[in-house]
Amino acid sequence: MIAIIDYVAGNVKSVENAVKKLGYETLITSNTEEIRNAEKVIFPGVGEASTAMNYLKSLMLDELIPTLKQPFLGICLGQQLLCNFSEEGNTECLGIFNLKVKQFPGRDIVPHMGWNNLQKIRDQLLNGISEEDNFYFVHSYYCEIGENTTSECDYILPFSATLQKDNFYGTQFHSEKSGDVGSLVLQNFLKLK
């Protein structure tokens, strides 16, 4: 069973549809026991950091998530909330990745919205992906580059497109909206042991 965390951040249904299309059974849930017992966990997100973190705290999911041992994937806001701190609402996040989430400087159009490629790819989640492949992004905040960065993207400045530490993975792009290459990333995640 693949648990998709429901925390009033958008995009839950499109993630569910993408996972089901790959042949996996899903459960949209905010129940701590269901999440703890899932084979894998996906943490999607479209929304605002402080609102999302307050909701996680109200359900004690902020305490559960860092203790999980199964493969865990944060998507977009889901990746950002796995970091230490977000400038969006001056929000203390989950602290899995020792990184800050910062707002893009206004030197270009913000949000970063549309298709972009990845660079410096070094992650099993991205097996079969090349620097020519494009993914769909939509975000006004970005994760810094650090020791857990496994690929980068460049929009206004370089940022972490994907992150990985132990069983925790993150993608700033929306794999569920990125066509065949996004499906490949999801498939790679779902095949992890």
Please write the tens of the pLDDT for every residue from 75-103. 999 999 999 999 999 999 999 999 999 99
Please write the tens of the pLDDT for every residue from 161-188. 999 999 999 999 999 999 999 999 999 9
* pLDDT computed for residue 7 by the predictor: 84
pLDDT greater than 80 at residue 10: no
- What pTM value is reported for the model? 0.96
From CA 33, how far away is CA 77, in angstroms rounded?
A: 23
Overall average pLDDT of the 150-169 stretch: 97
| CA Rg value for the chain | 15
Calculate what percentage of the chain has a pLDDT beyond 70: 99
* pLDDT computed for residue 193 by the predictor: 85
* pLDDT computed for residue 46 by the predictor: 84
From CA 56, how far away is CA 50, in angstroms rounded?
A: 10
DSSP string, 42-58: EE---S-HHHHHHHHHH
Overall average pLDDT of the 126-147 stretch: 97
Q: For residue 178, what are the CA distances in angstroms to 38, 60, 100, 105?
A: 25, 32, 25, 25
From CA 67, how far away is CA 57, in angstroms rounded?
A: 15
Calculate what percentage of the chain has a pLDDT beyond 90: 92
Which residues are catalytic, by number? 76, 174, 176
From CA 156, how far away is CA 103, in angstroms rounded?
A: 11
Overall average pLDDT of the 14-27 stretch: 96
Q: Which structure tokens are listed for 31?
A: 């129940």
**pLDDT band for position 125 (cuts 50, 70, 90):** very high
From CA 53, how far away is CA 55, in angstroms rounded?
A: 5
How many Cβ atoms from other residues are within 10 Å of residue 187's Cβ?
Answer: 17
3-state secondary structure of 67: helix
Non-local (6+) Cβ contacts of 191 within 8 A are: none
* pLDDT computed for residue 11 by the predictor: 80
* pLDDT computed for residue 34 by the predictor: 98
Q: How many residues does the chain have?
A: 193
pLDDT greater than 90 at residue 108: no
* pLDDT computed for residue 18 by the predictor: 96
Q: Are 104 and 88 in contact (CB under 8 A)?
A: no
Please write the tens of the pLDDT for every residue from 31-58. 999 999 999 999 998 889 999 999 999 9
